[in-house]
């Protein structure tokens, strides 16, 4: 699958967003010029991460406070385990495209 249109850049005006791409709910986060796309389900109890509180490269889940690094999908305080899948994003003009076939993180912290 190639990249799929996800959202307009202007839509980030109200903070993190969520879109469904081919049956996968994806959370989208903006840090200045960078866009991060993660599977939008907290591994603790499944709440949508885009409803959490974003602080630069981290998002804190609104339910019980687990924190995740948007660049790696890992909880910063743990050195192993399985990260939240992160996906390749690309900005084309004023649009954000996401490729679900291109994971940008590894299942284990390098
Ligand atoms: S559901 Fe995210 S911390 Fe509990």
Q: What is the pLDDT of residue 81?
A: 72
Tokens of 66: 């687990």
- Domain 4-103: homologous superfamily in CATH: Rieske [2Fe-2S] iron-sulphur domain (2.102.10.10)
Q: What is the pLDDT of residue 79?
A: 65
CA triple 102-24-61, angle to 5 deg: 95
What's the pLDDT tens digit per position in 28-79? 999 999 999 999 999 999 999 999 999 999 999 999 999 999 999 999 887 6
All structural domains of the chain with their residue ranges? 4-103
Most ligand 1 atoms within 8 A of CB, residue of 45, 50, 54, 58 to mutate: 45
Q: What is the pLDDT of residue 76?
A: 86
Q: What is the pLDDT of residue 77?
A: 82
């Amino acid at each position: 699958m190639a990249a799929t249109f996800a959202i307009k850049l202007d839509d980030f005006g109200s903070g993190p967003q969520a879109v469904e791409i081919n049956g996968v709910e994806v959370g989208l986060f903006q840090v200045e010029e960078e866009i991060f796309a993660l599977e939008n389900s907290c591994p603790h109890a499944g709440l949508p991460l885009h409803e959490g509180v974003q602080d630069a490269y981290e998002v804190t889940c609104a339910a019980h406070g687990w924190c995740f690094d948007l660049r790696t999908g890992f909880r910063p305080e743990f050195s192993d385990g399985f990260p939240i899948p992160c996906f390749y994003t690309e900005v084309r003009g004023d649009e954000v495209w996401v490729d679900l076939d291109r994971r940008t993180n590894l299942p284990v912290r390098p």
